Amino acid sequence: MKAVIGPKAFTEMEAINVNFAAKTTMVLLRTIFSRMQTTPSFVLFCAMVCVFAGIATMVCTATLESPLCGNYNKSEAVYLTVARKALDGKWGKLTDWQRQGYEKLLRVTPIEKSAWITVYNENDPGCNFTTASGRRVSHRVAAMIDKPWATWVLVDLDTGYQLRQVFDTGSRKNIWRAQNPPRKRGKLTRQPAQTWIDLYYSPVQMRMLKNGRNQSWVRPIFIF
What's the CATH number for 110-223?
Answer: 2.40.40.10
pLDDT in the model for residue 126 = 86
- According to the model, what pLDDT value does residue 181 have? 96
Say how far apart CA 142 and CA 116 lie, in whole Å: 13
Instruction: Give the pLDDT confidence score for residue 208 in this predicted structure.
Output: 80
Per-residue model confidence (pLDDT) at position 19: 42
pLDDT at position 61, please? 31
Cα(81)–Cα(83) distance, integer angstroms: 5
Residue 15: per-residue pLDDT: 36
Q: Where are the domains of the chain?
A: 12-64, 110-223
**What integer pLDDT is reported at residue 103 of this predicted model?**
98
CA angle 149, 155, 156 (to 5 degrees): 170
Q: What is the pLDDT of residue 48?
A: 54
Q: Report the distance separating Cα 10 and Cα 8, nearest Å.
A: 6
Question: Using CA atoms, how far apart are residues 175 and 198, in angstroms rounded to an integer?
Answer: 11
Q: What is the pLDDT of residue 159?
A: 86
∠ CA 182-161-112 to the nearest 5 degrees? Answer: 60
Tell me which residues of the chain have a pLDDT lower than 50: 1-29, 32-33, 36, 42-44, 46, 49-71
What gap in Å lies between CA 176 and CA 124, rounded to an integer? Answer: 21
Q: pLDDT value at position 140?
A: 98
Residue 39's pLDDT is 52
> What are 161-186's pLDDT values in tens digits?
999 999 999 999 999 999 999 999 99
pLDDT of residue 129: 95
Q: Please count the residues of the chain.
A: 224
